[in-house]
Amino acid sequence: MEYLETFRSYVLEKAEKWGIDQETLFKIELVLEELLTNVIRYAYVDGGSGDVEVECSFQRDNRFYLSIQDWGKPFDPLQREDPDLTKGVNEREIGGLGIHLVRQMADQVSYNREENSNKVHLCFQISTVCT
């Protein structure tokens, strides 16, 4: 969990340098935390530790791309069922919110299982670029 901050500052520093607005920065940060904590908690439960790779880029089409790759057990966030958001406090389950937030916050999410790795690609459409 202590590596979370390293990834967070790496991605956010880049995104800020590219002039991405505060609201999109918040969304990027949230998506990154949700997916990384998922990898940290679940991907390597059997083996203990493993690698995770984060890449980001900003393209001329005003889109910010983020990808997160791990070599842990298969996990497709798109297959995960949404939590029931209509339940009351007592009935509401504790888990499942993170992936729901990822799908809501990113404009596009795709998943590939390739050569023993999970790779999640995300895209954020940027409305305003501050220069």
Partner 1 sequence: MQVTFNKEGNALVVAVKGRLDALTAPDFESQCSSHIEQGHVLLVADLTELEYISSAGLRSILQISKKLKQEHGQINFCCLSGIIQHVFSISGFDSMFSFHDSVAQALLQYER
Binding site for partner 1 (CB under 8 A): 1, 4-5, 23, 26, 29-30, 33-34, 37, 83, 85-90, 92, 94-95, 97-98, 100-101, 104
Smallest separation (angstroms) from partner 1 to the CB of 97: 4
With beta carbons less than 8 A apart as the criterion, state whether 28 and 12 touch. yes
The DSSP code for 129 is B
The region that residue 16 occupies, defined by phi over 0 for left and psi between -120 and 50 for alpha, beta otherwise, is: alpha
Task: Let me know if 120 is exposed, middle or buried by CB neighbors in 10 A (0-12, 13-18, 19+).
Answer: buried
Smallest separation (angstroms) from partner 1 to the CB of 5: 8
Smallest separation (angstroms) from partner 1 to the CB of 33: 5
Q: Considering beta carbons, is residue 2 or 46 the nearer one to partner 1?
A: 2
Smallest separation (angstroms) from partner 1 to the CB of 123: 18
Q: Considering beta carbons, is residue 60 or 85 the nearer one to partner 1?
A: 85
Q: Considering beta carbons, is residue 60 or 88 the nearer one to partner 1?
A: 88
**Per-residue b or e along 58-89, where b marks 16 or more CB atoms closer than 10 Å to that residue's CB:** beeeeebebbbbbbbeebebeebeebeeeeee
Alpha-carbon torsion (74, 106, 124, 64), positive or negative: negative
